[in-house]
Amino acid sequence: MRKIPSLWIRVPLYIVIITIMLLVNLPFIWMLVTAFKHESEVFSLPPRFYPDFFDFRNFAGAMEQIPMGRYLFNSLFVALSVTLLQLVFNSFAAYGLSRLRFKGRDLIFLVLVGTLMVPPEVTLVPLYIIVKNLGMIDSYRVLIIPFMSSAFGIFLLRQFFLGIPRELEEAAIIDGAGRVKIFFTIILPLSKPALWTMSLFTFIAHWNEYMWPLVSVSDPKYQMIQVGISQFVSGWETRWTYRMAASALTVVPIIIFFFFVQKQFVEGISVSGIKE
């Protein structure tokens, strides 16, 4: 029986993969193209994918309409702060739930995982009442402190920590190392893929946060970029070219972040499986 050349298998496969990739990324590509269009070309009939000329003035116009620089700084500051805090608190909690043995550990973990099934809209009003009584409205604190830890981050890191051989800890204990030293010299260095993966998820989630900043912040000095972009929509019109230009700018930090951590991200996702 003649063997089918691998080229005849790979070429159709690549065509299918490229087609799926283009379809999945079509909204993103359309956003980028619209950011360079003239306002009259957005809803032209018949629709035109490419503009007559690429108008870079939309980016300048978007930054004139709203304080884009301030909003971008606020989003970057909040997203990085929350990510760093979650790295600290989530890793400590995950280590305790995965490597330490104490009464009620499994019950605590089950309750923690159960909170993942609670929609954020359910806790929105109670959380707002709490932060308002604490006097944190209209500040960076209201955007950072309530999210210093997350159930998903603890779950992800715990599953990764369970895959680290216990023999490494036992050898360190024999050499006289304590739990703190083991955590910082063995567990964390071996968990870089999971830490980077959790960092990427956390950064993206809080960079794209819309509902909570909209509810808890009214001072433009502390407002975030996603709420700022919504200002291009009014009761009478929507500046689609400005809105797409601003949206394109907000994607840049995420692309840069993912470019540097893509290898660790893939490794962290593949290794952080469900373990007993």
Confidence bin at 168 (pLDDT 50/70/90)? confident
Confidence bin at 19 (pLDDT 50/70/90)? very high
Provide the mean pLDDT of the chain: 85
Q: What is the mean pLDDT of residues 28-54?
A: 81
Handedness of CA 17, 18, 20, 24 (dihedral sign): positive
Q: At 103, phi and psi to the nearest 5?
A: -65, 130
Q: Quote the pTM value.
A: 0.83
Residue 165, SS3 per DSSP: coil
Q: Report the alpha-carbon distance of residue 240 to residue 37 in Å, rounded.
A: 9
pLDDT tens-place string over residues 229-247: 888 877 677 788 888 888 8
pLDDT reading at 154 higher than 70: yes
Rounded to the nearest 5 degrees, what angle is found at the Cα of 121, between the Cα atoms of 67 and 208?
Answer: 35
Q: What is the mean pLDDT of residues 65-69?
A: 87
Distances (CA, A) of 186 to 126, 161, 205, 244: 40, 11, 29, 46
Q: At 136, phi and psi to the nearest 5?
A: -105, 5
| Residue 93: predicted pLDDT | 93
Q: Report the alpha-carbon distance of residue 142 to residue 129 in Å, rounded.
A: 11
| Residue 276: predicted pLDDT | 45
Residue 233, SS3 per DSSP: strand
Confidence bin at 22 (pLDDT 50/70/90)? confident
pLDDT reading at 171 higher than 70: yes
Q: What is the mean pLDDT of residues 71-79?
A: 93
Structural domains of the chain, ranges and CATH numbers in brackets: 56-271 (1.10.3720.10)
